[in-house]
Amino acid sequence: MAKLVLIRHGQSEWNALNLFNGWVDTKLSDKGVAQAKEAGALLANEGIQFDQAYTSVLTRAITTLHLVLDEAGQLFIPETKSWRLNERHYGALQGLNKADAAAKYGDEQVHQWRRSYDVLPPLLEEQAATVDVLGKTYPAFDRRYADVPEGQLPFGENLKVTLERVLPFWESNISKDLKAGKNVVIAAHGNSLRALVKHIENISDDDILGVEIANGQPLIYDFDADLKVLSKETLSTEA
Annotated catalytic residues are: 9, 87
Contact between 28 and 63 (Cβ < 8 Å):
yes
- Residue among 51, 25, 226, 220 nearest 133 (CA): 25
HEC per residue, 113-165 = HHHCCCCCCCCCCCCCCEEEECCEEEECCCHHHCCCCCCCCCCCCCHHHHHHH
Report the C-alpha gap between 116 and 167 in whole angstroms: 19
Please list the alpha-helical segments (H only) found in the chain.
13-17, 30-46, 59-71, 98-105, 107-115, 159-169, 175-179, 190-201
Q: What count of other Cβ atoms lies within 10 Å of the Cβ of residue 90?
A: 26
**Whose CA is closest to 32, among 13, 57, 55?**
13
The Cβ of residue 234 has, within 10 Å, a number of other Cβ atoms equal to 11
